Structures are given as C-alpha cells and as structure tokens.
A = this chain, B = another copy of it.
Amino acid sequence: MNNKKIKNDLNHQAIGAIRYIGLKAIQEAKGGHVGMTISAAPITYTLFTKFIKLNPQDGKWINRDRFVLSGGHGSMSLYPIFYFSNLLTLDDIKKFKTEDSKTPGHPEYENEADNFIDASTGPLGQGFATAVGMAIAQKHISNKLGKYSDLIDNFTYVVCGDGDLQEGITYEASAIAGKYELNKLIVLHDSNKYQLDSSVEKVSIENLKQRFESNNWNYLKCSNDPKEIEAAIKKAHSSKSKPTFIEVETIIAEGLKSQSSNKGHHGVVNDDDLDQFLKYHHLNFKDWNIDSKIIEHFQKNVADRGNKEVQKWNSKLNKAIKDKEFHELWNTLVSSIDYEKLFANIKISENNLATRVYLKTFLQSIKDFNPFVIATCADLVSSTNVAITEETILENGQSLPIGIREFAMGAIINGISLYAKGAKAIGGTFLVFADYIKSAIRLGALMKTPSIYAFTHDSYLVGGDGPTHQPYDQLPMLRAIENLNVYRPADEEELRYALIAAFNSFTYSSAIILSRQNIKSLNSTIKHSDIEKGVHIVKECKNPDYVIAASGSEVQLALQVAQDIENIKVISVPCLDLAIQMSEKEKNKHFKAKKLFLTLEASADYKWFGLHLNHQNNYHIGAYTFGKSMDGDLLYNQKGFNKQSILKLLKKYN
C-alpha cells in the first residue's frame, strides 16, 4: 500500500523525516505514541519552520514564541525537529524515555538555556490552559511596558488533541482566553479522529466551531497540507481581539497498518512497520540517516531564522534600556527581586484578625513594587482578599478575575509563572476547593514554578456552609506534593514570612492556608532562620514536661492550653514540609518532652507523625471526619479542638 496522491516535495520529505525519526525512537524505546507522532508532524513542522521564533542559544529567551504540546504523548512529533535544528543530538533522540535523557516520554520543562520545552505536559488539557496563562502574561507585560510594548510581542502556540478538548479545563481556559481577548494565542488541533479506546465520535459529537465561537474565538479548519496550515496560521496572526482555534484534519498513524483506527494511538514499531511507513509515504530513509538537504532546511528555517530574530530583538532592547526608567522596569521583569524588601516593611495597623484579612495589605503593596505580578481569584475576592488592584489587567491593573474556574486558574498561574522571573502569580479560593486544582498544583510543583496559592477558610471553623465547604482532607493532599511548600501561618508575622518565602522562590510552589475567623496575634519575635526550618517557638521552656506543636488556627488553642500547664513549650509550625526535613538532632532539640510531645492540627494529615520521636511519648490530635453545617466554633469544639479535652489528655501522661 502506498499513497498515490502524495506530492513528494521538500515539505513532505521534511515531515516524513520527523515522523520517521520519531518512529525509530519509539522502536528503540520498545513502544510509544506512534499515532500522534505521525498525525501532528505537519503541524509542528509548519509551526517551527515558518513561524516560531526561538533563540537556539537560549531556550528561555524571554520573547520567544511559546509552544505547548498539550497532547504531551506526541513528544516525538517535536523532538526530531529539535534534533534536525541542532537543539538536540541524535544521541538524545536514541535515549528516548531513558534515564536523564533530554527526550522524556512527555516533554519536560526545565529552567535551563538548553531546554526548549515551555511547559511540561501529559495530564490532558493542562497544556492548553497553561498556554492561556502564558498568553495572559505576554499581554499584561506588553501593556505594562508602555511605549516599549513590542519587546514582548510573542505568540503562544498550542498543539492539542481530542483528549485535551474533552477535559473540562480546556473549556474553562477557552472562556478566559475569549474574555481576555488573547489574540496572540493560537491553538492547533491535531484532529485525527481517534483516541485510545475508540473513534472520537463514539464519545464526542461536539460541534467545535460552535464551541469555540461561543467563547469569542475564531474557528478555522484546514487539511494537513503544510501550505493550508501556514495559511490558517497567517490568518490567525491577523486577529485583532480573538484567540484562534485551527482544526487541522490529520490522519492517525498514517502509513502504518493501524492507520485510521484507535489501535494507531500507541504501540510498538518493528522493521516491517518502518518499511511499510516509508513505502506508503514514498520516502527513502535508512537507519538513522536523514538527507542533508532536509537537515539544512531545518537549520535554516528554525535555527538560523531564530538567530536573526534574536539579533533584531537584541538591538531593539539595547536601544530601549538606554531609557533609565525603562531599564529599571525591565530589570524587575527579568531579574530576581527580593520581596523581603517589600513585605518586611509593611505595617499592619490592627492585629488579632483573621489571617486572610492581612493578606489584603500585603498584596496591595505589590502594585508599586512589581507591576508584572498578577493576582487572580475564583470569584471569591471579597472572601479571600486575593487582589492587588481593583482594576483588572484589561484596565491596566494587576487583577485577573477568572470566574469560578479553579482548575484553569491553577494552570494559568503556572503559565504566568513560567513566563518570566518577574511574572509571579497568586491565586485564591477556599481551601476545600484546592481539590479542583490538585493536578495543576502538582504539575506546577513538578516544573518547580513559583506558583502561589492563598487558600482561605481553613477548617471546620467555616461553620454553616457545611461539610462541602469545611476542609479537613486537603492538607495531606497538598503536603504530599514535592516542591510545594504549604504554609499555615498563625498570625500576621508568620504570614509575612510565608509571603516572603513564596514570592522569593524560583524552585518551588507555595500554598498559604489562611483562616476565615479571627486569630489572636502571637506577639512573639520571629527569627527568619526558624521560619526557614518551618518552626517558630511561641512559648519557650527549658526541659519541658510537655511540648505542643501546632499550625495556623490551632496555635492559639495550644497557647490557651499552655496557660493552665507549667513547664510547657509551644511551637508553631508554619511549614510542616520544612519542619519535617530537620535532622533527628534538631527534632530532639525542639520536640523532646519529659512527659508528652503533642502535635495538633484540625486536618487528616498524618505527616505530623513524622515529627514524632522514637522512644518517647507522642500523641497527635487530628481531624479525620466530615464536618457539619452548624456554628463553626461549636463544631470545632465537638471535634476535640477545645482546651478541656486537650488538658485531659495531657493529664493522662502525668
């Protein structure tokens, strides 16, 4: 079988080379996603050779066009382009899916100059939404640069599959992209009509044109001919206010025996398959060899073209930074600035308030400090105080009202955070709705994005809204994620340090857990070094009979208990994730008690047991059950968070 209609021009051969090398790598790795490797290649080819501006010397060049392969399993429709363009070696390709290779199964972002991946993808739908975040960052930053706005004028391109489009997060993200008029966002749909289990139509009868137009997008459709794809992208470029969705009609696993069936989604590749593929496509490749004219074509149209663009841009930038005011602004965007300088000096005029209340003062101060930071919130600004300005980013402010779209919010925060060092983002909702965002929080942490969340309404103390709104199971979920620091400050000073740590980070994400209800301020001095270890001694005692360690809302309860007990030490643990990393020696120093070491938190997090010391009496009071719709204080009390029952427990160890 071969396809007689094929126009065997350079485009076809170059696309064939991507597919062939992709298949070879999959053969080497003993399996992979052949379907999208083949079907998406005309799209990635057209994008990279005709449009995408990249800097071969610096994968993290700030004004590069962003490219997100939302269907990350199609990574082999991308890696061969990098190889042909001299951004990866053939050896990298051969090491597909092996340890520490530059070609992992799904594309992996690293904040390194030799990494050309703009976002880690794999969990479907999130690449699309992350790209929306990048396009928001581009638009916002460009606006803030005033007359130098064209220094940040990149496009954001996404290649997605039907799986991405079925995920709810892509609808949420589309709604935001349409509302915020992200005309520099272009999504190309590898519409190959099959997914893992079946044809797409077996599970989706959606009219994509109606779908995208309903949210203020352009919808275009074209074949998989690179000329048609090019024309469609050019049309998309001319859009003044709408993002563009391009449905590219492709053929899954074209040229393999599994072509045009769900069996083509993934599989192994043998020599016969390769022969069949080459014959079908009228190609003559052998082993790992690709004709030099094809390689040259990529070198010229990807790498050389990129270099020229970078040169032009550099000269523009060099002119601009002669303007001192602009130079300073630019530095805020591209270098790391120390938020301790900002937050350490914020005066809190009233204390003993809910920790969510202080947040307002801290966040509003960011406005004059860094205009690139964006605060977003899932329709709960008045409850969470997560806003920097009243004005939205469309009104030259720094707030991004996002509607009740938590999951997309998470991915968008990741996308903004990935954009530039200065482009931080903080997002807010109730702690219990962190559930909706879990996978985006995880993906951000995996990428080590400094994404920041403020999760308020921290416990049963939420009260009357009932068990659907009362968190108890969210802290263990969050604290199980590597590269995510969960802070649960007990007052405004602990919040101050949590914010400094969160905003100064470039290697981890942060979740700051805040109370709905007022908490008595600790009025104790915090040493930064203690906070860095996750602990803060709020009532010191040498050789204590009892030590209580608690977090957030429970610290004041521990202090109440301590009023009635002699020889007791109370430790606030604003960051258990850090505290648990202490050495045994340090843990002994902090937590050793003659009678009992008690840990206390209104959550189901057994991680507190990790502070417990072998061979001494330890006890943990946690919360393992759903709450109730009733007064929060009464409920909290009922669940064992009251002075009397804790005193009773301590007395047992007398």
Residues of A within 8 A of B (CB): 29, 31-32, 72-73, 97-101, 104-106, 108, 120-125, 162-164, 166-172, 175, 178-179, 195-198, 202-211, 213-216, 377, 379-383, 392, 401-408, 432-433, 435-436, 438-439, 442-443, 445-446, 463-469, 472-473, 476-477, 479-483, 604-610, 612, 614-615, 617-618, 624-626, 628-631, 634-635
| A479: chain B residues within 8 A (beta carbon) | 476
Most chain B beta-carbon contacts within 10 A, residue among A123, A210, A381, A480: A480
Of the candidates B195, B445, B465, B609, the one whose C-beta lies within 8 Å of that of A612 is: B609
| B207 near A214: Cβ-Cβ < 8 Å | yes
CB contact under 8 A between A382 and B196, given known A204-B175, A435-B439, A615-B615: yes
Query: Who on chain B is nearest to A165 by CB?
Result: B404
| A615: chain B residues within 8 A (beta carbon) | 615
| B377 near A197: Cβ-Cβ < 8 Å | yes
A463 to chain B, nearest CB (A): 8
| A403 near B204: Cβ-Cβ < 8 Å | yes
Most chain B beta-carbon contacts within 10 A, residue among A465, A468, A481: A468
CB contact under 8 A between A405 and B167, given known A72-B468, A439-B436, A624-B482: yes
| A214: chain B residues within 8 A (beta carbon) | 206-211, 214
| A468 near B123: Cβ-Cβ < 8 Å | yes
Q: A166-B403, A167-B172, A605-B606 are in contact. List 8 more A-B contacts (CB 8 A).
A: A97-B463, A99-B634, A101-B629, A104-B628, A167-B436, A203-B403, A207-B213, A445-B626
A162 to B634, CA, bound (A): 33
A235 to chain B, nearest CB (A): 21
Query: Who on chain B is nearest to A129 by CB?
Result: B168
| A211: chain B residues within 8 A (beta carbon) | 210-211, 214-215
A210 to B216, CA, bound (A): 11
| A606: chain B residues within 8 A (beta carbon) | 476, 605-610
| B446 near A439: Cβ-Cβ < 8 Å | no
CB contact under 8 A between A197 and B630, given known A166-B403, A168-B408: no
| A125: chain B residues within 8 A (beta carbon) | 404
| A404 near B629: Cβ-Cβ < 8 Å | no
| A465 near B106: Cβ-Cβ < 8 Å | yes
| B106 near A442: Cβ-Cβ < 8 Å | no
| 15 A–B contacts from the bound complex (CB under 8 Å) | A105-B464, A105-B469, A106-B468, A121-B468, A125-B404, A163-B403, A166-B172, A168-B407, A175-B206, A178-B205, A197-B377, A207-B214, A210-B211, A438-B477, A605-B606
| A472: chain B residues within 8 A (beta carbon) | 480
Most chain B beta-carbon contacts within 10 A, residue among A122, A381, A403, A446: A403
Of the candidates B98, B162, B443, B624, the one whose C-beta lies within 8 Å of that of A631 is: B98
A344 to B464, CA, bound (A): 45
| A100 near B435: Cβ-Cβ < 8 Å | no
A359 to chain B, nearest CB (A): 16
Of the candidates B164, B167, B178, B609, the one whose C-beta lies within 8 Å of that of A168 is: B167
| B166 near A179: Cβ-Cβ < 8 Å | no
| A29: chain B residues within 8 A (beta carbon) | 464
Most chain B beta-carbon contacts within 10 A, residue among A473, A605, A608: A473
| A170: chain B residues within 8 A (beta carbon) | 168
Query: Who on chain B is nearest to A210 by CB?
Result: B214
Query: Who on chain B is nearest to A214 by CB?
Result: B210
| A407: chain B residues within 8 A (beta carbon) | 168
Of the candidates B108, B167, B198, B464, the one whose C-beta lies within 8 Å of that of A97 is: B464
| A401: chain B residues within 8 A (beta carbon) | 197-198, 202-203
CB contact under 8 A between A382 and B626, given known A166-B403, A203-B403, A466-B106: no
Of the candidates B120, B405, B438, the one whose C-beta lies within 8 Å of that of A435 is: B438
A443 to chain B, nearest CB (A): 7
A164 to B171, CA, bound (A): 13
A629 to B32, CA, bound (A): 12
A443 to B614, CA, bound (A): 37
